[in-house]
Amino acid sequence: SYVLTQPPSVSVAPGKTARITCGGTNFLSKSVHWYQQKPGQAPVLVIYYDNDRPSGIPERFSGSNSGNTATLTISRVEAGDEADYYCHMWDSSSDHPGVFGTGTKVTVL
């Protein structure tokens, strides 16, 4: 089945930029979505279809998808951005079509 690999952790100082990668194969034909999950809470969609933002999500969150890597970028990081982040895609050709990335813990220093 499809595997989406993320770095386990990313540390960033307040006001700086955090970049979280999501690696796989043949991303060009698939859309990637991103979720934020804070401790004890349900996930929240922050980026969908590679680089669209749901209403209510700050412009500081953006996404890109190129080659075999998708990236979630958080600009001007705030303490409230500290959370786990997961990428997600659908692979119709797989027997496990819904796939989440391994998850990245973002720590704000």
Partner 1 sequence: EVHLVESGGGLVKPGGSLRLSCAASGFTFSSYSMNWVRQAPGKGLEWVSCITSSSTYIYYAGSLKGRFTISRDNAKNSLYLQMNSLRAEDTAVYYCARGYSSSSDVPFDYWGQGTLVTVSS
Residues that bind partner 1 (CB under 8 A): 1, 31, 33, 35, 37, 41-45, 48-49, 54, 84, 86, 88, 90, 92, 94-103
E strands of 1-109, at which residues? 9-12, 18-23, 33-37, 44-47, 61-66, 69-74, 83-90, 98-100, 104-108
What is the gyration radius of the CA atoms in the chain, in angstroms?
13
Q: Please report how close the Cβ of residue 1 comes to partner 1 at its closest, in angstroms.
A: 6
Q: Please report how close the Cβ of residue 75 comes to partner 1 at its closest, in angstroms.
A: 21
Q: Is the CB of 80 or the CB of 93 nearer to partner 1?
A: 93
Q: Is the CB of 73 or the CB of 100 nearer to partner 1?
A: 100
Give me the phi and psi of 21, to 5 degrees please: -100, 155
Residue 22 CA to residue 37 CA, distance in Å, equals 16
Residue type, 65: N
Q: Please report how close the Cβ of residue 51 comes to partner 1 at its closest, in angstroms.
A: 12
Q: Is the CB of 47 or the CB of 74 nearer to partner 1?
A: 47
Q: Is the CB of 48 or the CB of 75 nearer to partner 1?
A: 48
